[in-house]
Amino acid sequence: MTRAMVLAAGLGTRMRPLTDVMPKPLVPVAGKPLIDRTLDFLAGAGVTDAVVNSFYKAEMLEAYLAKRTAAPRITISREEELLETGGGIKKALPLLGGKPFFIANSDVICIDGKTPALHRLQAAWDDARMDVLLLLHPVASAVGYDGKGDFFLREDGTPRRRTADETAPYVFTGVQILHPRLFADSPDGAFSLNVLFNRALEARRIATLVHDGKWLHVGDPAGVAAAEAEL
């Protein structure tokens, strides 16, 4: 797999006041903008082409990316209205081809373990039984994350979402593989990718892999400080 999409169109409201003057993907962490950290992570695992969606302060983000010379090659998917995660990916599908591709959020820093996480994901991908493969991380060792987690893993390894009153041991890292067929009969316009995740969970077409490296969640200024301390 050599194609990926970086989700970079959000408003970054939790990152204010930093995002009053720049889009969240351009917020520097230890001197390096988040978007560069994500693109370098992808390139390091062999990704040659990346689609980056833009919306909030799009001109600033696009101008910055136009000056980037390192791999991967970048194509912009500009959103005239905020399409959320599901709608943004659906809009970009024509740019991503008909095969499975990587997705990475631009507000996380994923540090590889012994083997690059994307290589581990690709090795675990089973096209016959998967439409989604999520990279999870143990909540206990996540940096900059104070949520209740996202998933439990059953004895057979299949994932289960936590209920509203539960605290789950694993958080979704924002790194994943998706197959374009996941978007068949999906809504038009703005919608959350969780709509399709729930459908895939019911059909047993979603799988998970636990990250063996470090994961830094950079969602707000406190997350920036925590990530810089870790780095």
Please report the pLDDT score of residue 156 as a whole number. Answer: 84
In tens, the pLDDT along 14-36 reads 999 999 999 999 999 999 999 99
Q: Binning pLDDT at 50, 70 and 90, where does residue 219 land?
A: very high
Q: Which two structure tokens, joined as six digits, stand for 100?
A: 């499975």
pLDDT at 157 over 90: no
pLDDT at 220 over 90: yes
Residues 6+ apart with CB under 8 A from 107: 10, 12, 15, 24, 25, 34, 174, 217, 218, 219
Q: Which domains does the chain have, with CATH numbers?
A: 3-230 (3.90.550.10)
In tens, the pLDDT along 92-105 reads 999 999 999 999 99
Average model confidence (pLDDT) across the chain: 97
User: What is the pTM assigned to this prediction?
Assistant: 0.96
What whole-number percentage of the chain has pLDDT above 70? 100
CB 139 within 8 A of CB 168: yes
Strand ranges for the chain from DSSP E:
3-7, 28-29, 32-33, 49-54, 73-78, 101-105, 108-111, 132-138, 151-153, 159-161, 170-178, 206-210, 214-217
